Amino acid sequence: MTKVRIGDIAQKSGVSPTTVSRYFNKPELLSESTREVIKDAIKELNYSQDKLARILVTGNSSLVGIVLPHFHFGFYTELLNQLIKQGKAKGYNFITYTSDKNSESEISMINELISYRIKGLILLSHTLSPEEIEKLSVPVIAIERIGGNFMQINSDNLTGGKLAAELLIKNNCDIFIHINNDYIEEWPAFKRILGFEFAVKNHPYETIIDQVYYNPYSQEADIAMTNLLTKLVKKYPDKKIGIFCSNDDIANLTLKHCILNQIPVPGQIELIGYDNSPISDSAVYPITSVAQNIPLMAQIALEALDNYKAYESIVPAILVEKETTRKERKLGCGEFPRPL
């Protein structure tokens, strides 16, 4: 096929090559009628723009890099979904990698992204230190990170943990449990533990940390959760247990094994997750969750690419109550009430 050039489009549409160039780079400077004429010529000539050549000439790219820790948690997949959905309207395309938790390897991976002339990097991995992030040669928008001279978007985790605890207290739970896959005190998500523990400090509570829940869809996680629930029910007989999980995926795992072990939810156990990701709505019983407002996080991240500044943006946490904390939840087919 003969390659279509800017001059061919100009000749076909009856405008100058400069006007065609302006159509691609600054279309707002052209009248609507001129844009339509050029658009029709492009369609008729079946022109496909060489985006790499355009990047090399203009230095501007519509590519955005994303580095995620993994795809196990619904928060990451839903955030990616929102970034793609909202980014499409801005003309952005995304290159996504997952981290392997090795600093040297991750820097090499990010440098490969930078070689594509990306407009910016959206970083959810915790592998790199703030100092390593600051040395990167592109704007960095970190989500659920603190510290360092770069853009950060975080949920109000402290309030989120408190909201979860306050609802469980209000619902007359006797024992309070927080389940987490891991934590580092410098992570913003650590404040979920602090908020929860502060609110229940005058009540019996336990914080359970087990890295097996890093992949809550593994066989190892299934075994660990069954053992944990069996232990809790035996340890606290005739007690109502309020469980707050660090994310909706662990909460869904908890719910699954409550159902398999015929532990009433709510009733013997009340359950709250975090993120308000799609899994919290599609669970067998929709799971009460602390919403991070994932669409808003994506919106802030994309807007920051156009007007980049190094600051922290805090997204409010909102408790969304669903069936796992509602007393009026109806029994499902084949489900029978079980006395405490």
DSSP 271-305: EEEEE--HHHHHSSSPPEEEE--HHHHHHHHHHHH
pTM: 0.76
Q: For residues 97 and 124, what is the distance between their CA atoms, to the nearest angstrom?
A: 11
Poorest-pLDDT segment among 101-115, 276-290, 307-321? 101-115
Whether CATH 3.30.230.10 fits 157-291+318-325? no
Residues 135-149 have a mean pLDDT of: 86
Question: To which H or E segment does residue 4 belong?
Answer: none
Q: For residues 135 and 47, what is the distance between their CA atoms, to the nearest angstrom?
A: 39
Q: For residues 140 and 114, what is the distance between their CA atoms, to the nearest angstrom?
A: 11
Q: Which CATH class is domain 63-155?
A: alpha beta
Q: For residues 183 and 193, what is the distance between their CA atoms, to the nearest angstrom?
A: 9
Alpha carbon 119 to chain centroid, angstroms: 20
The pLDDT tens digits of the residues spanning 267-276 come to: 899 999 999 9
- Per-residue pLDDT, 333: 40
Looking at per-residue pLDDT, the higher value among 244 and 62 belongs to 244
Whether 63-155 and 157-291+318-325 share one fold: the answer is yes
Is the distance from CB of 97 to CB of 86 less than 8 angstroms? no
Tokens at 251, concatenated: 């909460």
Q: For residues 156 and 148, what is the distance between their CA atoms, to the nearest angstrom?
A: 18
The pLDDT tens digits of the residues spanning 49-92 come to: 655 555 544 555 678 988 888 777 888 889 999 999 998 888 88
In terms of Cα–Cα distance, which of 211, 208, 216, 204 is closest to 176?
Answer: 204
- DSSP character string of 9-45: HHHHHTS-HHHHHHHHH-GGGS-HHHHHHHHHHHHHH
The pLDDT tens digits of the residues spanning 295-304 come to: 999 999 999 9
Residue spans of the domains in the chain: they are 63-155, 157-291+318-325
- Per-residue pLDDT, 25: 73
The HSE-up count of residue 34 (CA atoms within 13 Å, CB side) is 18
Residues 184-198 have a mean pLDDT of: 87
